[in-house]
Structure 1
Amino acid sequence: MKALRRFTVRAHLPDRLTALEPLSVNLRWSWDKPTQDLFEAIDPQVWHQVDGDPVALLGQVAPARLEELAGDESFVERLGMLAEDLDTYLTRPLWYQGLADEQGVEPPKGIAYFSMEFGVAEVLPNYSGGLGILAGDHLKSASDLGLPLIAVGLYYRSGYFRQSLSADGWQHESYPALDPQGLPLRLLTDKAGAPVLIKLALPDDAQLNAQVWVAQVGRIPLLLLDSDIPENEHELRTVTDRLYGGDQEHRIKQEILAGIGGVRAIRAFTEIEGLPAPEVFHMNEGHAGFLGAERIRELIEAGLDFDTALAVVRASTVFTTHTPVAAGIDRFPAEMVERYFGTGSEEASVGGSRLLPGVPLERILAFGAEDDPSKFNMAHMGLRLAQRANGVSLLHGRVSREMFNELWPGFDPAEVPIGSITNGVHAPTWAAPHWIELGRELLGSEDLTQLREMESWSRLQKVDPGHLWWIRNQLRAELIEDVRARLRRSCLQRGASDAELGWIPTAFDPNVLTIGFARRVPTYKRLTLMLRDPERLANLLLDDKRPIQLIVAGKSHPADEGGKALIQQIVRFADREDLRHRIAFLPDYDMSMARKLYYGCDVWLNNPLRPLEACGTSGMKSALNGGLNLSIRDGWWDEWYDGENGWEIPTADGLADENRRDDLEAAALYDLLERAVTPKFYDRDEHGIPTRWVEMVRHTLQSLGPKVLASRMVRDYTQKYYLPAASALRAVIEPGLPDSGEYAMPFGSARELADYRRRAEQAWPRIEIADVDSYGLPDVPLLGSELTLTAQVYLAGLRPDEVVVQAVLGRVDGGDVLVDPATVPMIHTGTADSGNEIFTATTPLPFAGSVGYTVRVLPCHRLLAGPSELGLVTLA
């Protein structure tokens, strides 16, 4: 018989072991090895059976064993020390608490972080790939640094999916139901103990309700909204069933719940917990973009007009884009957005909807507008609602400025206000215990916070090459054991019998150069580039003197038949009897498998179509374990490759023939393996140590270690985005300037900014640069000669101090286009008889060669983040 429903019953803990409960439900255990070791000591066999899940362990361990441990003084003492350590971790001042003194400005009292997925630990499978893992690492590092951050997402009852392979290598998906009561979660309840319900009005008088589960990630509460509750109609109970599942109708409900419901969940949580309301709202991708519309609704309800509310919301919002391709952006039919945010009546365009009363439908539609009027673009919405935006590597920042240039017409891509903060990874989660222990030895301290500083990593110079090589050998051997176990399970799952698997105990070799390739399987990541010349790859795998072995893993989206076909190609190649001991595809790629791969692989392979990899943090995790990257110069590798920390696969990007491009890049990959990678690995000294290889490992750890840390990333977000956003918010909610009259009241500055924006947008089509004169240059200008420019500008009612007028100088190409121009501010010097304003600048010529200039006018207001923010510009 099959159970109608499953649920988890937790054991009753003896009084002396009650501290196990908070240790098990705070996910800090997922990156704290001593806590993991404590739970393993309770029952090693059960710990292995539950895949290292403390909550599941406490649900299965025998009560007699718990009573036995309650009488074990050494265990109770160890438990007390770890409980005290957790309490200290949660309460002592950390980096963030010292920011006020360091920066001379009060940091945000609260930060809200929204993401559609969070990869915190295997036990909470709310992630599909890099975006979620990045979000999880962001939370862990925010906790380690002491940020007052609250995270918001959805609780998916079936997570993403579990992957298995058929006998012929085709991906199959399964969706096991997750019991939240068996996970490290608590239900958010009100003061009376009743579950908090988040309520959203949907079309046709429907109402979507959600309860809120709280996962504690160290110091950081992660709020996960769950629609699978009796208060919902059957169809609406499935809104949070799966991550990235369902059609667009399903998806827009999820994103409305994540954005609008997420803000309402934060309001309920902070009120119940007595926490300050967040000052900064950070959107990790555009999925939760509707949060801005909800915040506008709140402010309108508090008495502000729409434009003033928008000024407040923009000042305090940060948007991070993760996609370098338009196809990766969520776009909904505009009529679908109208249905959810309108009422079906003309009043909707003025009075809003049941979902967002007071917020005009036409303004919501304008946030997501793009060239195609039938589409609503969530990334465009994110950019229009955020005063600050960024990509996730230097290269991705450049790509994003090109990609979204249309939102800032008249500006060169370099001037589009999208910056970049390169992603990072959480070292305690992804660095092998061997490296963590070595770090403690070198620092002479249990506290590894010094590793945030570059100079601390120089101590690796003291480590004997033999010891570095010993660590790499140990980690590779552990990986091989794990690969054999996973390979056996997969073969049995695909229909093989025990009698057919006698080859597995000797498959792979702990002494052979091991290459890893593991990631999601969209086509641009080119899972099968390595198969471009199958026999050449086979020769590399089977080389008598310098063999390689290759471990491949990754999931294709359930709807991506092309991605599944790529997986099948790899599986069929790996099934060859002559090769199966040297190459394997391991199904069900998740955090636990990834960790072993990062620990043990000597080389991390990455061969995307440049520049379609926004960042690619898997290679960072490998580098953190002394792995050498072999990669196309894309994402973070374009930024930090230095010629000694791995190898660059030459790229043929820009080649129109994609097949030809793949052939060229695959051939370059094979050449590098044959001529550079394998010789270094197998060239040994008299002690059997590949000295040149080990020095590359040492250099990789020293040069990349401090850069790839998520603590560096979160500090960058704090200093470059969170602090300025909080300051901007505080500025706009203040009364206006003393002589501002009608603005001399709370939110006066926001009203002032909103009024300026309205006037600027009305005036801008009529602003005209009437005349530009130049003088001062000799007949034959020389580098450094002074050029004086004077421009007469009609400002259409704006004051001279409400604009910036700039001279723009640069070299010109054959089409008279300015290349990498420099800007020089022009000073207002008076008013012409015609009524035009006169602006003048004198500047030495900064370039030699063919040089040109123009003049332009931009908006200027003290509360704008920069002159390009509003996307308004007039050129001469």
Structure 2
Amino acid sequence: MKAIRRFTVRTVLPEPLRQLEELVLNLRWSWHHETLDLFSAVDPALWEAVRHDPVRLLGEVAPERLERLAEDRRFLRRLQDTADDLREYLTAPRWYQSRFGGDEREPGPACIAYFSPEYGITAALPQYSGGLGILAGDHLKTASDLGVPILGVGLLYRHGYFSQSLSPDGWQLERYPPIDPNGLPLTLLRERDGTPVRVRIGLPKGKSLQAQVWIAQVGRVPQLLLDSDVEENEPLARDVTDRLYGGGGDHRLLQEMLLGIGGVRAIRAYCRITGHAEPEVFHTNEGHAGFLGLERIRELVSDAGLTFDEALEATRAGTVFTTHTPVPAGIDRFPRDLVARYFGGTNETEQVPLERVLALGAEDYPGGDRTVFNMAVMGMRLAQRVNGVSRLHGRVSREMFGGLWGGFDTPEVPIGSITNGVHAGTWVAREVLEFTARELPAVLESGRGWEGVRDVSAAEIWRMRRMLRHRLVTDARRRLRESWRQRGASEAETSWIDDALDPDVLTIGFARRVPSYKRLTLMLSDQDRLRSLLLHPERPVQIVIAGKAHPADEGGKRLIQDIVRFAGSEDVRHRIVFLPDYDMALGQLMVQGCDVWMNNPLRPLEACGTSGMKAALNGGLNLSIRDGWWDEWYDGQNGWAIPSADGLAAPDRRDELEAAALYELIEDHVSVTFYDRDSAGLPRRWLEMVKHTIATLGPKVLATRMLRDYVEDLYVPAAASERAMVAVEFAGARALAAWKRRVRDAWPRVAVEHVESKGEESPQVGARLSVRVVADLGGLEPGDVAVEAVYGPVDDSDTLVDPSRLELEYDGPAEDGKVRYAGEVPLGRSGAFGYSVRVVPDHPLLSGRAEMGLVALPPAPQGMTNGDLR
């Protein structure tokens, strides 16, 4: 008989052990090995049985064992030391405090609110599906380590993401294990009188959606998770947070309304109750939480008496938006009439009119779909600062969203990039961290000294790599046996698994989500060729594969089935395995134990792809298409780049060429280097590449570098902009909104009337070209605009290539109310050269001159003359 309700009964700890609960409720344990050792000491066998979940450990440990531990002086001393270490970690100044604590000229924000639909903190808190969530989890952990005052906001999914298994014929099956928040390391946010906090958002027909707020403490960082499973809600409303990325359009829209609007309201309640600093900066991690901007506008209109436009400027100033997708299909887009139903009618507010909501998400640019509401577009319109997650992704994003800044060339579209990083404490093997502390202490103490790895004993690195490979092989056999038994295989039919994989064979890892563009089955393009690689008599290769397809992605499930069927072939099943239920725990084993991390997406569809970074920090080498982070940091010595045929229109031909290049690299380069041993049995060239990888990539791929970039390049400037907007009763926001309105009204009349240049007919490098312009400002003042000369090399079509800009000086009035500008363009290089001029809005509170998307250009190149201005 099945239970009709599931809940968790928590252990009552003896008084001497009460600090264990304090340690469990702070998720720092997920990356702090000494705390994990303490939990293991509670009951080593049970610790393994509960898969290193300390909440389950304390829930299942025998009372007699707890009583013995309560009298064990050695354990109690260890417990006290660990608790003291946590308290010191939570209170001592860290990088952020030393960098911004005493600088009144450049104060850092008091709090940054970070919104994400998913978080990968630990496998014991399954609230993630893929790279977006893992990145968000690493962001919070690193903020804790650096002392950055971030406040995380997300949703608590009662079924998390699905658990994956396989049918007998290799088809992906999904199961959604129920999650009891009381069985997780969470506490409920309560009012001071003890009643649970309720966050409400309005729904059509006068109804509302309510949510309670759970708190996960991620080191120093509080994380607020909204949960709609409360008795006050109707059944459909209770299910809004049932599962990650579940349901259809209405369900998904409600999740994003709760995350954005409800998330802001949860922050207000948390800060009111706890005294925590209110956020000065709001960071939207992808478009799912974009509605937070609407809630902040509503607050400012309602509470501060601002107009919608004034509130929009105040909101934008302190908002950062990060896009994570390089393809339109990866963006949430809702039918406009669906959004109108939830934000109009009885649910429409005077502060946030429906037409303004719809305008924020409108694809009202060339090539846009006028029938949809685009969450990423809204996120960008509500944020003054926007970034992609690698240099290449920044370029792709500027092309994708350039229509929002019409009139500007793609390189000037104001979308920057901060390349992702990974949290070393989570992803680097403990043995590697201990080795680093012993051999390269400066790396852990100050982040410097990476070059010292080149002097480390090659034999020691090789010993450690074999140990990590052996650990992966052992666990892979266990997982493989469980999977085959689950699929109906008998004990006799799984005996071969005892010899599956080999700790001394070159091991390639491939693990990620399974959308088609990541090309899970590219390795199967020529199965005979793959077999020859796996079974090579002198240089065999083994491949460990894991990944989940979205439950609604039938194509992705077929790719998994193809891999599973090939991996089940009797001749190769000991050399290639698919491990079901890819999660953080399996991901850690794979990035630590694989010699090579393989990645073969369709370029440039991988925004960043951080798993290869994790492998690199553990001494693995990358074998990848030059996409995402690998495009900017591959140097020819830290792995291998798979040649990309991304110029080809025929996808089958492209796959064929790239698969052939992949096979050739593995056979003629990767495996040859791995198996080329010296007299001591060491692959010297391989280990040189490992050392070079760690020395050069180590300081780049860490999330500490990433978060410092966010703080210094985005958070601090955003906080300064926000303060400029709100000071003196929002004088800045009021002034900027009025100025923008005046500029937009006048802009149709702004024109470049005349352009002339004067210089030598055949100038030489080092000469200067005098440029003079007459412009009609349409009633604007000279201080409202900047007139720029844009100059540089030109191609065969006279298009400027990587141009420079020179702001021309105001040169007084001209006839008919027009104005003159002049300047001298330096001719700093030889070859074909050209220039143009333009007028752009200019205001000290703009983030850049492209912000408004307005530009006035000369009518045509032939309008220019070479002579004196008359």
TM-score with structure 2 setting the length:
0.97
Q: 1:448 aligns with which of 441, 444, 452?
A: 444
Distance in 1 separating the partners of 2:454 and 2:603: 35
- Verify: 1:155 aligned to 2:138, yes or no: no
Q: Does structure 2 conserve the Cα–Cα contact (< 8 Å) formed by 1:99 and 1:106? A: no
Aligned to 2:337: 335
Aligned to 1:462: 455
Distance in 2 separating the partners of 1:866 and 1:388: 10
Distance in 2 separating the partners of 1:269 and 1:797: 49
- Verify: 1:553 aligned to 2:549, yes or no: no
Shift of 1:98: 1.3
Shift of 1:462: 2.9
Other structure's SS at 2:240 match: coil
- Verify: 1:36 aligned to 2:62, yes or no: no
Aligned to 1:850: 832
The residue type equivalent to 2:359 in the other structure is A
The aligned length equals 852
Q: 1:773 aligns with which of 756, 767, 771?
A: 756
Aligned to 1:486: 479
Distance in 2 separating the partners of 1:186 and 1:375: 39
- Verify: 1:61 aligned to 2:61, yes or no: yes
The residue type equivalent to 2:604 in the other structure is P
| TM-superposition CA deviations, 1:239-259 (whole Å, max 9, x none) | 000111110111000000000
Aligned to 1:529: 522
Shift of 1:104: 4.1
Distance in 1 separating the partners of 2:175 and 2:112: 36
Shift of 1:848: 2.6
Shift of 1:205: 1.9
Other structure's SS at 1:259 match: helix
| TM-superposition CA deviations, 1:56-106 (whole Å, max 9, x none) | 100000010001011111000000000000000000010111122469411
Other structure's SS at 2:168 match: coil
Other structure's SS at 1:423 match: coil
The residue type equivalent to 1:123 in the other structure is A
**What stretches of structure 2 of length at least 5 have no aligned partner?**
859-870
Other structure's SS at 1:194 match: coil
Q: Does structure 1 conserve the Cα–Cα contact (< 8 Å) formed by 2:775 and 2:818? A: yes
- Verify: 1:407 aligned to 2:404, yes or no: yes
Distance in 2 separating the partners of 1:627 and 1:715: 25
Aligned to 2:847: 865
Distance in 1 separating the partners of 2:302 and 2:99: 34
Aligned to 1:284: 285
Q: Which residues of 2 match residues 711-730 of structure 1 at below 5 A?
A: 711-730=704-723
Q: Does structure 1 conserve the Cα–Cα contact (< 8 Å) formed by 2:111 and 2:281? A: yes
Distance in 2 separating the partners of 1:570 and 1:444: 43
1:689–1:443 distance in 2 versus 1, CA, 3 Å:
closer
Aligned to 2:776: 794
Other structure's SS at 2:231 match: coil
Shift of 1:442: 2.3
The residue type equivalent to 1:329 in the other structure is I
Shift of 1:123: 0.7
The residue type equivalent to 2:832 in the other structure is S
Distance in 2 separating the partners of 1:499 and 1:513: 28
- Verify: 1:389 aligned to 2:390, yes or no: no
Distance in 1 separating the partners of 2:644 and 2:149: 43
Aligned to 2:582: 589
Q: Does structure 1 conserve the Cα–Cα contact (< 8 Å) formed by 2:362 and 2:373? A: yes
| TM-superposition CA deviations, 1:332-366 (whole Å, max 9, x none) | 0011111111116xxxxxxxx45x44111111111
Q: Does structure 2 conserve the Cα–Cα contact (< 8 Å) formed by 1:126 and 1:155? A: yes
Q: 2:642 aligns with which of 632, 644, 649?
A: 649
Distance in 2 separating the partners of 1:22 and 1:808: 61
1:819–1:586 distance in 2 versus 1, CA, 3 Å:
same
Distance in 2 separating the partners of 1:359 and 1:383: 18
Distance in 2 separating the partners of 1:33 and 1:667: 43
- Verify: 1:764 aligned to 2:747, yes or no: yes
Shift of 1:274: 0.3
Other structure's SS at 2:215 match: strand
Q: Which residues of 2 match residues 565-714 of structure 1 at below 5 A?
A: 565-714=558-707
Aligned to 1:503: 496
- Verify: 1:98 aligned to 2:81, yes or no: no
- Verify: 1:308 aligned to 2:310, yes or no: yes
Q: Which residues of 2 match residues 804-823 of structure 1 at below 5 A?
A: 804-823=786-805
Distance in 2 separating the partners of 1:680 and 1:786: 55
The residue type equivalent to 1:263 in the other structure is V
Distance in 2 separating the partners of 1:681 and 1:343: 67
Distance in 1 separating the partners of 2:721 and 2:65: 57
Aligned to 2:219: 218
Shift of 1:439: 1.3
Distance in 2 separating the partners of 1:384 and 1:175: 36
- Verify: 1:84 aligned to 2:84, yes or no: yes
Distance in 1 separating the partners of 2:829 and 2:311: 45
Q: Does structure 2 conserve the Cα–Cα contact (< 8 Å) formed by 1:317 and 1:385? A: yes
Distance in 2 separating the partners of 1:420 and 1:580: 42
| TM-superposition CA deviations, 1:616-658 (whole Å, max 9, x none) | 0000000010000000000000011111110000111111111
Q: Does structure 2 conserve the Cα–Cα contact (< 8 Å) formed by 1:321 and 1:390? A: yes
Distance in 2 separating the partners of 1:510 and 1:642: 29
Distance in 2 separating the partners of 1:286 and 1:422: 18
| TM-superposition CA deviations, 1:13-45 (whole Å, max 9, x none) | 111111000101110000000101111111111
Aligned to 1:201: 202
| TM-superposition CA deviations, 1:485-532 (whole Å, max 9, x none) | 000000001110111111111111100000000000000000000000
The residue type equivalent to 2:259 in the other structure is A
- Verify: 1:831 aligned to 2:813, yes or no: yes
Identity of aligned residues (%): 60
Q: Does structure 2 conserve the Cα–Cα contact (< 8 Å) formed by 1:856 and 1:873? A: yes
Q: Does structure 1 conserve the Cα–Cα contact (< 8 Å) formed by 2:454 and 2:692? A: no
Q: 1:318 aligns with which of 289, 313, 320?
A: 320
The residue type equivalent to 1:331 in the other structure is R
The residue type equivalent to 2:47 in the other structure is W
Q: Does structure 1 conserve the Cα–Cα contact (< 8 Å) formed by 2:789 and 2:825? A: no
Distance in 2 separating the partners of 1:766 and 1:76: 78
| TM-superposition CA deviations, 1:660-713 (whole Å, max 9, x none) | 100000000000011100011001111111111111111111111111111111
Computed over aligned residues only, the root mean square deviation of the Cα atoms, in angstroms, reads 1.1
Distance in 2 separating the partners of 1:448 and 1:181: 36
The residue type equivalent to 2:63 in the other structure is P
Aligned to 1:228: 229
Aligned to 1:740: none
Other structure's SS at 2:530 match: helix
The residue type equivalent to 2:755 in the other structure is V
Distance in 2 separating the partners of 1:591 and 1:449: 27
Shift of 1:539: 0.6
Other structure's SS at 1:172 match: strand
Other structure's SS at 1:222 match: strand
- Verify: 1:358 aligned to 2:358, yes or no: no
Shift of 1:779: 2.3
Distance in 2 separating the partners of 1:577 and 1:259: 51
Shift of 1:808: 1.1
| TM-superposition CA deviations, 1:114-159 (whole Å, max 9, x none) | 0000000001110000000000000000000001110000000000
| TM-superposition CA deviations, 1:432-489 (whole Å, max 9, x none) | 01110011112458x9242x33xx2122133110000000000000110000000000
Distance in 1 separating the partners of 2:384 and 2:441: 44
Shift of 1:5: 1.1
Q: Does structure 1 conserve the Cα–Cα contact (< 8 Å) formed by 2:440 and 2:450? A: no
Distance in 1 separating the partners of 2:732 and 2:569: 70
Distance in 1 separating the partners of 2:666 and 2:104: 48
Aligned to 1:240: 241
TM-score with structure 1 setting the length:
0.96
